[in-house]
């Protein structure tokens, strides 16, 4: 029993930790970073979500962000998980399903990336 507990704690200590930050090139070729997922808009300007959040371009090339990760539906509308770090995916019918429920992506959750 003690051996199992020791193995459990050892595994917990060496498990990879996802920092959640993202870095990509902006319209000038400079690498910029954010706390969460980053995406460039239709002009190459980079916007990032907060840590654990997603950033995806909508049907107009505008970056929409969320508290959790995001996906586009069959109409190219962006939907994001309501939970920080929560996943989002598009099903076979083109509808987005999210951990903890979905909310529409918004620019209010986006921040301009920094060098």
How does pLDDT run across 84-112, given as a tens digit for each residue? 999 999 999 999 999 999 999 999 999 99
Whether the per-residue pLDDT at 6 is higher than 90: the answer is no
Distance CA 105, CA 52 (A): 14
- On whether the CB atoms of residues 102 and 86 are closer than 8 A, the answer is no
Residue 77 pLDDT: 98
pLDDT single digits (tens) 10-51: 333 333 334 468 999 999 999 999 999 999 999 999 999 999
Would you say residue 6 lies in a domain? no
Structural domain including 85 reads: 20-112
Burial class (CB within 10 angstroms; exposed 0-12, middle 13-18, buried 19+) of 54? buried
Would you say residue 86 lies in a domain? yes
Check: pTM over 0.85? Answer yes or no: no
Which distant-in-sequence residues (6+ apart) come within 8 Å of 110 by Cβ? 47, 48, 49, 55, 63, 64, 65
Would you say residue 42 lies in a domain? yes
Would you say residue 29 lies in a domain? yes
Would you say residue 14 lies in a domain? no
Domains: count for the chain: 1
């Amino acid at each position: 029993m003690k051996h199992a507990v020791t193995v459990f704690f050892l595994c917990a200590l060496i498990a990879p930790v996802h920092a959640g930050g993202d870095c990509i090139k902006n319209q000038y070729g400079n690498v910029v970073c954010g706390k969460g997922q980053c995406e460039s808009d239709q002009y190459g300007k980079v916007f990032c979500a907060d840590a654990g959040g997603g950033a995806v371009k909508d049907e107009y090339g505008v970056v929409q962000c969320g508290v959790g990760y995001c996906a586009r539906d069959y109409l190219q509308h962006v939907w994001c998980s309501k939970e920080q770090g929560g996943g989002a995916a598009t099903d076979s019918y083109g509808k987005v399903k999210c951990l903890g429920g979905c909310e529409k992506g918004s620019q209010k959750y986006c921040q301009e990336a920094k060098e």
